[in-house]
Amino acid sequence: MTILIGIDPGLQRTGWGIIHADTNRLSFIDCGVVKSDPELGLAERLKQLHDGLRIAITRHQPQEAAVEETFVNKSGSSTLKLGQARGAILLTLSLCGLDVYEYGANLVKKSVVGSGHADKHQIGMMVKMLLPASTATQADAADALAVAICHAHHRSVSSWQLAVGSDKA
């Protein structure tokens, strides 16, 4: 059994979700959102993200991490800030000794909902179906659980391929 953390990065709100993955059986452990104070400078906001994620990681001791990849926003400034938040998040995960995997938003949606263009409501509903014990009440936390679910599905397929040697075919 492996404990996985999924991260939905953002400068204002970073969602995190932790699950147990035992082959194709998934179970909910915890989730939440780390918020940064928009009144503070960028460096302090990035530190708030780091500190909040470190607390969740220390509490639950995940073995692997999955992070949603950045997509380009309408505003270059927003894209840059999201990239800086992701950088702080990736550094935090690495400093905590976790192997980090990255997944595009469309792959996460397709893995959980079956459509790469699903909306947040659909993602939240499918996360609740796949993890009935989930307490995710915020979209960012549900999105983070979706990232963890995506990683669980893809890591089990990769493990199966290695076991049967089909990646060499």
Tokens of 59: 């509490």
105-147 confidence digits (pLDDT tens): 999 999 999 888 888 899 999 999 999 999 999 999 999 999 9
Burial readout 5-34 (b: 16 or more C-beta within 10 A, e: otherwise)? bbbbbbbbbbbbbbbbbeeeebebbbbbbb
Q: Domains along the chain?
A: 2-168 (3.30.420.10)
List residues with catalytic annotation. Answer: 8, 68, 140
pLDDT > 60? residue 161 = no
Q: Residue 2: exposed, middle, or buried by beta-carbon count in 10 A (0-12, 13-18, 19+)? A: middle
78-115 confidence digits (pLDDT tens): 888 889 999 999 999 999 999 999 999 999 999 999 88
- pLDDT for the residue numbered 34: 98
Instruction: List helix spans (H) across 61-97.
Output: 76-95
9-55 confidence digits (pLDDT tens): 999 999 999 999 998 899 999 999 999 999 999 999 999 999 999 99
pLDDT > 50? residue 168 = no
